[in-house]
Structure 1
Amino acid sequence: MWSGLVVCLWLCLGVLGEGREGRLVNTHQGPVKGYKEPGDSVFVFHGIPYATAPTGDYKFQAPLPPPRWFDVLEAVNSSIICPQGILGDITFEGLVQQENCLVASVYVPDTDQKRLPVLVYVHGGGYQIGYANLFSPINLARSKKVVVVTFNYRLGIHGFLCLGTDRAPGNAGMKDQVAALEWVKRYISSYGGNPDDVTIAGYSAGSSAVDLLMISPATKGLFHKVIPESGSNMASWSVQVDPLEQAKSFAKLKGVENVDDVYALEEFYTSASYDVLISYPFWDKTEFSFGFSPCVERKTEDAFLTESPYTILKNGKYKKVPMLYGFADMEGLIRIDKFEAWKDKMNANFSAFIPLDLQFENDNERDAVIQKVKEFYFDNKPVSEETVLGYVDIMSDLLFVYSTLRAVNLHVNAGHDKIFLYEYNYVDNSTPIIPQSKEVRGADHCAQTVAVLDGASMYSDDESNISEEFKDVKKVMREIWINFITTGSPVPEGSSLPAWPPVGAGGAPHMSLGRTLQLRGALAEKQVRFWDSIYAKHYREPQPPPAPPARHSEL
């Protein structure tokens, strides 16, 4: 029986040989022992199986239940990650890619308080890369006000192949996330958390993911507040517009000829090696997509998403929980590494940089839109060092800004009155100048996440080398996040921070999060009006894969 009731919670206060204090937690899943570093105030439990990844012919299906055990699980293995490709200078030193990678980490403050609010963080990486502890939430747990959970989920083709067949229905990675939330619901009380007060948060693709979790019927009762950081379920990269065509395209690259036979496609993907499946070149795609991502599924019993986010938000058929929703002011800097390679491509063939979720009746329609875009972002000048800020702006708007504000508008029209909108714009003197601009700095993609979290691998939780001003900003940002997690408002009654009302009609107000907090009006009005006029005419709504024909054995 998956009751998840607490059996007992007791402390093992004996000091280990390494000088770390341990805590033993007994649950119906089995006994688990975590540790805290000397002088720290947080017990950390790594490598706890929250589900089991299916294998072989079934590796694209929903996860299986987690294991149980009788002996104590020494929860110290933080090296397990899901199979994934490599991006840039990211390395996997000290990490182990393995098929059964569905493990969680739990950060528990050393406090006598029970049933603390729970924060579940979903990692980012474009749905292609990343792992549970790419960033660390330990400083949030050090507040002694929250228990924090991070976890792995299947990525890329492994997590998001969507053929619409029994073996590859789609959204395996999102079903992993649902399984993680179900694990939290069953077991987090054993670690001192309150399963009836759960906030889900995520950065980048994790932001898109929690935005999708919010509108999925599969997550009913599993969370109560949402914090999407730089990513919306309405982004063109969040949901595959045509998942079957995406699957065909990659198979063709690998030499598959009969891609129109969905069962031949299924055979290719189920039999392909992991090295083949992680070789997808997602970072080079120009059409504001990363390829294999969540999809709209065919209507089956265990589907995660059977309608597009646009339809769900427009109809208002989702539970409207409090949201802390926003992005950084220069999100498009995530693509500045491609500027030198892409500027000439944009000048030669701008149509390659049109989002996949736009469609046109003919070339004349498409060319008319391209001309408008060039006028709006580049003043009809070539894409060059002179217009690099226009390049950053269009990358910001089409990857993150417009989709978030479009979603906010749909939420408000559907009666959602608990969304707290922000733009994070803090930069200090250590922030790199955009090389082509000579003088401009901006808050890069997920800069607010860097302010709130720490990093086991990308950033250090040792803050001794950052400026005093940034330390103050991080302190305020963590206060805002913890306020929201514990009360449902970033600035609850009695706070010394400036009053922050929810966003309303017209997209106002929003809070500017920088050196100071300033409540302002509508956010990015000009860009929203511009893209609204285009999407109103040319939006291509994501669709599920078609129903596959009967297998030969079924005829």
Structure 2
Amino acid sequence: MSTVLAAVSATGALMACRSAHEPAQAPLTVRVDSGSVRGVVKGKSRQFLGIPYAEPPTGARRWTLPRNPRPWSGVRDAGRPGNDCMQDSSPETEKPPSEDCLYVNVTAPREQHGALPVMVWWHGGGFTQGSGKDYDAVRLATEGKAVVVTVNYRLGIYGYLGLPGLAGSGDFGFADQIAALRWARRNASAFGGDPRNITVFGQSAGAMSACALLTSPEAEGLISKAIISSGSCGLRWPAGGLFPGAPADRPYVPVAQGQDDGLAAAEELGCTGKDALACLRGKTNAELLPHSPSFSDHLAYGTELLPRDPATALRAGAFAHVPVLIGGTHDEARSFVAGAIRYDPKLITSTTYPRLLEQAFGADARKVAARYPLSRYPSAGLAWATVLTDASWACSTLAGARDLAARTTVYSYEFADENAPNVNGLHVPDVPQGAAHATDLPYLFDLGGRDLLVNRDRKGLARTMVGYWGAFARSGDPNHRGAPRWRPGTAPLSLAPGAIRTVDAAAEHGCGFWETTTR
């Protein structure tokens, strides 16, 4: 054999060996069921941004259930996200929100790895704020080896308005989320995903929606797993729990109450009688948006999509028996309390603390004060935040985990990095943020496209968490090589740098005490 032929033969053998062991590059142009899209490369990932999963709910389609998008011809550019759903926005917002907002963003590994698990993300924001584009999923897709779909859904009055006789009353945002899940199942294989292995996961309002989905008839056969972060079905805030002076609240309302609230908003907008809906559809966004806060935490049950109160359904075992990963942050309420203090420092002080307890807990206020005396805390704000974290967030999450674990496999966690990034931008000395609400998000996503983890220990925890989340999406078991063992059950795994261990969170948050206390 000549030297040249020998070289060619050796090169061919090397290429054959490489192709046998190295994954092929996945395509940037793929076809979904409504047309072809061209994505972009970001690091080791492919991103397909701003893909419509439903028709725009505009004009006469405002307050109607989502319908599949119209097909398009040619190749659609998927290099930029779609519009945020209608919400209050700052003047610096690059692109104003719009009612034409039902888009998804898909992030997948650049290299093909066979059929990957699909993770569909529902963002938080109190059902009135937020966008799927804010959660860059490159790390979760590439390190977790998953296809990640982040979703926009209708918010505020656009997503949760109810009126008598209106199909979908109070559930339009929820219907959007379900439509996006169905879109993901139909199109998973186009991005290298397994349509039979879909995990829904969300935080705050997104988690409350994910928990509700488990109790919906629509969940049957639609998802294989769920991850619920800071938002269980049993979440309940006492009076003043979200903001001093606010009434007691929870994420779900009976459809009749939702319709009454919708009629009240319509009347304030001058829309009454049989033509109220047509009148509302004629209102401008400037007229409607001021009413959106009234539809925060306003997902309606007693409907076709959500027949039962999710908390009641969970306790009765009437939910999809799929594996669930559920948890929250160690200091959930600190962000809400710090926000109230920043708004008005006089709202939460040593003087107002007894009154806050009385408004929240009535006859049990003295009992709560004895359990959480001001003398134990550096400030009234920190005392009040601890009360609300335990009473509203931590113990309801643990109770939800117990209800789920009675009938399916559950993995519980509590995010506990006391030096987590201050994602809420709250700098109130009396209430250090610690592991406050939403501070776990930078460990899974690059928020706004930025990696907020500059410390080696934080990055290490993030890799472990991404590994847990990805493994759970793949198999229903979060354990992966090199990570501390996570045992199924209701005792949470505490997630903190260098200190991942199982903890007795029920004792730490006084859940036995709160089971006997009026909220």
Considering the TM-score relative to the shorter chain, is it more than 0.5?
yes
- The match for 1:171 is 171
Shift of 1:153: 0.4
Answering whether residue 73 of structure 2 is matched by residue 70 of structure 1, we say yes
- Using the TM superposition, name which of 316-325 and 142-151 deviates more: 142-151
TM-score by length of structure 2 reads 0.82
Answering whether residue 424 of structure 2 is matched by residue 426 of structure 1, we say no
Would the aligned equivalents of 1:246 and 1:292 in 2 still touch at CA under 8 Å? no
TM-score by length of structure 1 reads 0.77
- The match for 1:456 is 448
Query: Structure 2 vs 1, CA of residues 165 and 399 (structure 1 numbering), >3 Å: closer, same or farther?
Result: farther
Shift of 1:164: 4.1
Alignment of 1:17-32 (within 5 A): 23-32=28-37
C-alpha separation between the residues in 2 aligned to 1:76 and 1:433?
33
Give the alignment partner of residue 513 of structure 2, picking from 526, 530, 535: 530
Query: Structure 2 vs 1, CA of residues 265 and 25 (structure 1 numbering), >3 Å: closer, same or farther?
Result: same
Answering whether residue 203 of structure 2 is matched by residue 203 of structure 1, we say yes
Give the secondary-structure state (helix, strand or coil) at the position aligned to 1:176: helix
C-alpha separation between the residues in 2 aligned to 1:267 and 1:378?
54
Query: Structure 2 vs 1, CA of residues 468 and 220 (structure 1 numbering), >3 Å: closer, same or farther?
Result: same
Give the secondary-structure state (helix, strand or coil) at the position aligned to 2:299: coil
- The match for 1:238 is 251
Structure 1: give runs of 5+ residues left out of the alignment: 1-20, 355-365, 539-555
Alignment of 1:94-493 (within 5 A): 94-143=94-143, 145-167=145-167, 169-236=169-236, 237-240=250-253, 242-248=257-263, 250-251=265-266, 254=268, 256=270, 263=274, 266=277, 269-280=280-291, 282=293, 291-298=296-303, 303-335=304-336, 336-339=338-341, 340-343=345-348, 346=352, 350=356, 354=360, 367-378=362-373, 386-412=379-405, 414-416=406-408, 418-428=409-419, 435-437=428-430, 442-456=434-448, 460-461=450-451, 466-492=454-480
- The match for 2:487 is 501
Would the aligned equivalents of 1:296 and 1:305 in 2 still touch at CA under 8 Å? yes
Would the aligned equivalents of 2:170 and 2:298 in 1 still touch at CA under 8 Å? no
C-alpha separation between the residues in 1 aligned to 2:61 and 2:292?
24
Query: Structure 2 vs 1, CA of residues 391 and 115 (structure 1 numbering), >3 Å: closer, same or farther?
Result: same
Structure 2: give runs of 5+ residues left out of the alignment: 1-25, 237-249
Give the alignment partner of residue 514 of structure 1, picking from 492, 496, 503: 496
Q: 1:78-101: CA deviations, max 9, x gaps?
A: 151110124xxx566222322221
- The match for 2:88 is 85
C-alpha separation between the residues in 1 aligned to 2:142 and 2:102?
25
Q: 1:518-548: CA deviations, max 9, x gaps?
A: 122353465322332236xx7xxxxxxxxxx
Give aligned pairs, total: 471
- The match for 1:357 is none
Q: 1:222-275: CA deviations, max 9, x gaps?
A: 2111111111122233212532343355456x36597xx6x5764554443222
C-alpha separation between the residues in 2 aligned to 1:433 and 1:160?
29
C-alpha separation between the residues in 2 aligned to 1:468 and 1:96?
36
Query: Structure 2 vs 1, CA of residues 157 and 374 (structure 1 numbering), >3 Å: closer, same or farther?
Result: farther
Q: 1:187-240: CA deviations, max 9, x gaps?
A: 111111111111111111111111112221113222111111111122233212
C-alpha separation between the residues in 1 aligned to 2:300 and 2:198?
25
Would the aligned equivalents of 1:61 and 1:170 in 2 still touch at CA under 8 Å? no
Query: Structure 2 vs 1, CA of residues 349 and 233 (structure 1 numbering), >3 Å: closer, same or farther?
Result: same
Query: Structure 2 vs 1, CA of residues 327 and 50 (structure 1 numbering), >3 Å: closer, same or farther?
Result: same
Shift of 1:426: 1.1
C-alpha separation between the residues in 2 aligned to 1:230 and 1:367?
26
Query: Structure 2 vs 1, CA of residues 266 and 27 (structure 1 numbering), >3 Å: closer, same or farther?
Result: closer
Query: Structure 2 vs 1, CA of residues 75 and 99 (structure 1 numbering), >3 Å: closer, same or farther?
Result: same
C-alpha separation between the residues in 2 aligned to 1:368 and 1:304?
38
Q: Identity across aligned pairs (percent)?
A: 26
Would the aligned equivalents of 2:112 and 2:192 in 1 still touch at CA under 8 Å? no
RMSD: 3.0
C-alpha separation between the residues in 1 aligned to 2:339 and 2:414?
23
Query: Structure 2 vs 1, CA of residues 249 and 433 (structure 1 numbering), >3 Å: closer, same or farther?
Result: closer
C-alpha separation between the residues in 2 aligned to 1:159 and 1:245?
16
C-alpha separation between the residues in 2 aligned to 1:92 and 1:212?
34
Matched residue type, 1:161: L
Would the aligned equivalents of 1:85 and 1:280 in 2 still touch at CA under 8 Å? no
Would the aligned equivalents of 1:22 and 1:35 in 2 still touch at CA under 8 Å? no
Give the secondary-structure state (helix, strand or coil) at the position aligned to 2:393: helix
Query: Structure 2 vs 1, CA of residues 118 and 530 (structure 1 numbering), >3 Å: closer, same or farther?
Result: same
Query: Structure 2 vs 1, CA of residues 31 and 476 (structure 1 numbering), >3 Å: closer, same or farther?
Result: same
Query: Structure 2 vs 1, CA of residues 349 and 45 (structure 1 numbering), >3 Å: closer, same or farther?
Result: same
C-alpha separation between the residues in 2 aligned to 1:371 and 1:256?
45
Query: Structure 2 vs 1, CA of residues 430 and 319 (structure 1 numbering), >3 Å: closer, same or farther?
Result: closer
C-alpha separation between the residues in 2 aligned to 1:347 and 1:255?
37
- Using the TM superposition, name which of 342-351 and 445-454 deviates more: 342-351
Query: Structure 2 vs 1, CA of residues 398 and 294 (structure 1 numbering), >3 Å: closer, same or farther?
Result: farther
Matched residue type, 1:446: A
Query: Structure 2 vs 1, CA of residues 403 and 249 (structure 1 numbering), >3 Å: closer, same or farther?
Result: farther
Q: 1:493-513: CA deviations, max 9, x gaps?
A: xx332222211xxx4x22111
Give the secondary-structure state (helix, strand or coil) at the position aligned to 2:228: strand
Shift of 1:402: 2.7
Query: Structure 2 vs 1, CA of residues 311 and 190 (structure 1 numbering), >3 Å: closer, same or farther?
Result: same
Matched residue type, 1:100: D
Shift of 1:453: 1.2
Would the aligned equivalents of 1:162 and 1:297 in 2 still touch at CA under 8 Å? no
Matched residue type, 1:483: A
Shift of 1:517: 0.8
C-alpha separation between the residues in 2 aligned to 1:274 and 1:255?
12
